[in-house]
Structure 1
């Protein structure tokens, strides 16, 4: 009897190793049950997914497994959609450890993303992107809820422990994800490779306020009826209704009423405009960007527009949009570049190459004009100057000056480049001193402002030390500058006097060269 039981246990064990056990009941019961090794493994791994997910894989704001983790300036890691939602709503959360993150810079955490993917492959839970991941719209709802919760806690602090708070947050996110519609355009900039570049925005626009301010409450609880109607039309499945909404919005924002632009420049309206910017319909693409230009005219909207994630879409239009859409896109980047907080972000996201191309060979004068103005304001930042030099912009700009093509605008850009060592070196290598002296010597100068801009570039180059002195003397700059000083405006005369002082000043570089020369002669 014991021998038979042992044989039976051995047979069952071998059957389990193959993966399946099937046991038949008596014919009276007429039932069959099966034990699947694969199913038991799946249930155990499902338990791992729910209870043993590493805490560093979860976003501190949403509590869900991160699909696109990013590192912010304070060193914390969050889901990208949560950071974008916080920036859009001007909200800075307080984490469980009592610290507050700094969202001014966003850098993709590729190492953690790779680790999460490997971890997911080891367990049958799938890639987080294939699940109900937290998109921007769900994150925005979550952050809005957290803003209201924060305000309520300040008035009536809740009496509950941290574990309850974490669980409530996770369930809230799950509910929001379930309720979120999946009809949003897949071309959103949050999935664009360009959006992985860091956005170095170090200042908060004045239109933002603290999470407890009444303006945030108004946007959340009392939406503008006019904005609601525009958003409804822009999200319509009917093309003609979208066009009607855009034309109406363009007319409304064109009016010289700053309050109207401020009230309409909301995260919901900007999100509705995003998928329309890359539309295949000419009227939709043109009018959507024109609306964006009008909204950007208000100073308080400029940073908010950049933080909405619309910049990569505008840059795509610069590269391959309709001609009139390119024109408006250049105008939008020019308007957005007026805010110092946006200059670095625009350069980082890749706007400089297409702007330089459109400056040289744009479809219209307006496109080239706005491209030049955008490049001028962007070249006020050192990081953008370095990018322009690496792009080989100096020979292109000098070539335009020599040919008289938009020389007044191009000289403004060259003036900014001449203020940095990299820009000066590139201009020296490209024959910039000769080109500028020839421009001053010729009679084709059309205005005193152009003459002053040319002298300004030479003044920036005069800080180049001994190399500038040699190139200036070879080009006959002293004689030409003397003639310009007699007829130029006072501002131009002052710059020329400073150039003469730089030419006459003996630099340390010259002293070292003379000492080396004397030592060499003594040794001979």
Structure 2
């Protein structure tokens, strides 16, 4: 009996839910190793999430076994794993000192995420799913680990006692400071500088509403810095202090103005990308010069863009070396866009007025500043959107100036990191304009347009809208003819968009399979992994399976299974299984090409997933062999 439309819809929804789970687990796996006071908690959570990968792999191979109840549970599980990913990213990008001073806050966050994942897993009846015994046992093990984790969050009594001593005593025992620095993974100058920047970023973007004392954090960081310098072995504290009175520290070359060779206090960027001290470059321009002093390149405009990142680094360096930075027009914190309060109001308002009423140079510079601000921190993204910048940036996507167009699309990309902004950008009808940028003359604009579409496509409804906006054929063009980074961005966006069934059909009709096949043949292009991943997603649709089968890809997949990297061999086996599962003609073709030897080798030497795929495929081949033998005996 042919499946009904409702059954087909359920199968499609099940496949999309599993694809979404695989995608978010891949994002968790791609996060860098987290060091610091919460490392154990983060590693445990990430490890448990990754242990669920075999479950989702097997469900992707057999979405028919997923009933409506299980589907809802899987969708809930996906949402909780997204929360886990966000929590891990929050810790990875944040201040270690803040995390340990407000450890209870993070423990509550991780406890909530752990409970949510446990609850979502408990709602799934594993007995109703067509999964192997090994995967079922591993999933039950994860459930047990999550249950135990709720009552056994890592103890931090010793670290808390050390911190209390360091925060409330003027002269802290060096041994205590050394223990803290090791526990927080602040062991060298580079670690201290990174922590200082994290603290600075958090303070300047907090709008004065931090739930911990800035003075306490700064005091502790200074003590840890002194401890690290003392233990660096370069010189004793006394010797260093003695020399410091007579020998000033060497100013890093990047901190010097190329014109004056002096330490910059108000660095600005000109159109060539070089940075100068504002007063000196202004004098240069006022003298009638129209070139960059350092590179001699013509300046396309005279607008000066503040270099906030460099200014922050210079301020941190001055503080670390006991140098008082001369101020111009107020301190760094008083700069019009230097702190969160001014940035949220007057600074952004000025930029928006320039975008509306300014000439082309002013619009370009304003879009560039918003691009940098949106990149800096989460609060800026909220404030810029609330100020009404999104519709104005969308208008600039149609600018005839390539640089303005590039700034605008990149600013929207940075703003889209905020989940609420994703919806605002789409509601403002940005998608057709972003698709137009994909065909612009600026490769960087095209790259960032593809990245913006990927960011927006995280929301399932947006996948449909992006496909309807005509993005897929243009992304395929970038995939084939873009820069190396453009190809990667296009592949990422296409993979995510093709999680939606309708977009798979669009991609297949646009000829994506032929292009992906060529990428598999040309391994030097560095796109084999991406091509296999997209093909595997497409193979879950009938249209994709037919197109891939017609492209005579099987001999190439067998070759990749023998000669590729571990990752390539795994993905080639997964794609081959998808093509052959339920298709006797393909199974016989695979057998006829001598696949059994490669599959046996892979089942012994491949990754865990590769072993499972190879084993399953060997089992299917053996089944048709036995059936053929039985039929032959009967005829005889």
The two structures have a TM-score, normalised by structure 2, of 0.43
Query: Aligned partners of 1:243 and 1:262: how far apart in 2?
Result: 21
Query: Aligned partners of 1:318 and 1:461: how far apart in 2?
Result: 32
Task: Choose from 382, 393, 410 the match for 1:273.
Answer: 393
Structure 1 pair 266–351 and aligned structure 2 pair: CA distance change class (3 A): farther
**Residue 462, structure 1, aligned to residue 580, structure 2:** yes
Match of 1:121 in 2: none
Match of 1:295 in 2: 415
Larger radius of gyration: 1
**Residue 395, structure 1, aligned to residue 514, structure 2:** yes
Kindly indicate whether the alpha-carbon contact (under 8 Å) linking 1:417 and 1:423 is maintained by their aligned counterparts in 2. yes
- Structure 2: state its 5+ residue gaps: 1-343
Task: Choose from 513, 538, 555 the match for 1:434.
Answer: 555
Kindly indicate whether the alpha-carbon contact (under 8 Å) linking 1:293 and 1:332 is maintained by their aligned counterparts in 2. yes
Query: Aligned partners of 2:501 and 2:545: how far apart in 1?
Result: 13
**Residue 370, structure 1, aligned to residue 480, structure 2:** no
Match of 1:340 in 2: 460
Query: Aligned partners of 2:373 and 2:474: how far apart in 1?
Result: 30
Query: Aligned partners of 1:389 and 1:464: how far apart in 2?
Result: 21
Match of 1:323 in 2: 443
Kindly indicate whether the alpha-carbon contact (under 8 Å) linking 2:349 and 2:387 is maintained by their aligned counterparts in 1. no
Match of 1:357 in 2: 477
Match of 2:11 in 1: none
1:484 CA drift (Å)? 1.6
Task: Choose from 349, 352, 359 the match for 1:231.
Answer: 352
1:227 CA drift (Å)? 4.1
Query: What do the CA deviations read for 1:269-312 (whole angstroms, capped 9, x no partner)?
Result: 11111221121112211111111111112233223212210110
Query: Aligned partners of 2:620 and 2:352: how far apart in 1?
Result: 60
1:314 CA drift (Å)? 1.1
Match of 1:89 in 2: none
Query: Aligned partners of 2:611 and 2:456: how far apart in 1?
Result: 34
Query: Aligned partners of 2:375 and 2:613: how far apart in 1?
Result: 41
Structure 1 pair 499–286 and aligned structure 2 pair: CA distance change class (3 A): same
**Residue 503, structure 1, aligned to residue 624, structure 2:** no
Match of 1:307 in 2: 427
- Structure 1: state its 5+ residue gaps: 1-222
Query: What do the CA deviations read for 1:375-421 (whole angstroms, capped 9, x no partner)?
Result: 11111111011111111211221121011131011111011011222
Task: Choose from 363, 370, 374 the match for 1:242.
Answer: 363
Match of 1:52 in 2: none
The within-5 A match list for 1:166-185 is none
Shifted more, 295-304 versus 275-284: the winner is 295-304
Query: Aligned partners of 1:266 and 1:386: how far apart in 2?
Result: 37
Query: Aligned partners of 1:337 and 1:502: how far apart in 2?
Result: 36
Query: Aligned partners of 1:270 and 1:347: how far apart in 2?
Result: 21
Match of 1:254 in 2: 375
**Residue 380, structure 1, aligned to residue 478, structure 2:** no
Query: What do the CA deviations read for 1:192-242 (whole angstroms, capped 9, x no partner)?
Result: xxxxxxxxxxxxxxxxxxxxxxxxxxxxxxx95444333212112412221
Structure 1 pair 503–420 and aligned structure 2 pair: CA distance change class (3 A): farther
The two structures have a TM-score, normalised by structure 1, of 0.52
Higher RCO, 1 vs 2 (CA within 8 Å, ≥6 residues apart)? 1
Match of 2:590 in 1: 472
**Residue 492, structure 1, aligned to residue 588, structure 2:** no
